[in-house]
Amino acid sequence: MSDEKDPDAGRTAEEVGERAKRSLTSLVRAEAMRDAALERITPDPARLADGWKRRFVIERARVPDLVALYESGGFEVVADAVTPEQLEDDCTDCKLVVHLDYVQVYTRKRRERS
């Protein structure tokens, strides 16, 4: 592998470790915000009544791979936009989730066709 393709080429182990630590801290913070928002975003009662299970709230850009994964496991999958009506009034992080184009992903076992 060429040094031109290695973003850490020429850096000390300490610098590489510090860069990794900052990246990990940012990722953990984003996941914590998403998890907190999940508890404060109301799932669609019609989906739940129809046998769907909400799996998570996630960025729309990440959905295609997850849909393919669940479908390969025998599930039907839908991704619904998070709407302002599903948010708790005092949840600032939840409002950010809506503006960042997050969706709620629901799954259910594939139904047999008659």
Tokens of 29: 């913070």
Q: Where are the domains of the chain?
A: 10-109
What is the pLDDT, as a whole number, of residue 30? 67
Give the H or E element holding residue 88: none
- In whole angstroms, what is the distance from residue 6 CA to residue 34 CA? 31
| Alpha-carbon torsion, ordered 19, 66, 99, 52, to 10 deg | -140
What is the pLDDT, as a whole number, of residue 53? 96
Strand order in the sheet with 102-109: 53-59, 102-109, 75-81
- In whole angstroms, what is the distance from residue 101 CA to residue 109 CA? 26
Q: What is the pTM of this model?
A: 0.63
Q: What is the pLDDT of residues 52-70, one digit of tens each?
A: 999 988 888 889 999 999 9
Instruction: List, as own/partner pairs, every contact residues 91-94 make where C-beta atoms lie below 8 angstroms and the sequence separation is at least 24, other chains included.
Output: 91/37, 91/40, 91/41, 93/33, 93/36, 93/37, 93/40, 94/37, 94/40, 94/41
**4-13, 59-68, 95-104: range with highest mean pLDDT:** 59-68
Q: Pick 39 or 12 by higher pLDDT.
A: 12
What is the pLDDT, as a whole number, of residue 36? 65
Q: What is the pLDDT of residues 31-53, one digit of tens each?
A: 666 666 667 788 999 999 999 99
The Cβ-side half-sphere exposure at 71, using a 13 Å CA radius, reads 9
* Averaged confidence pLDDT in the chain: 80
Q: Determine the average pLDDT of the residues in 80-99.
A: 75
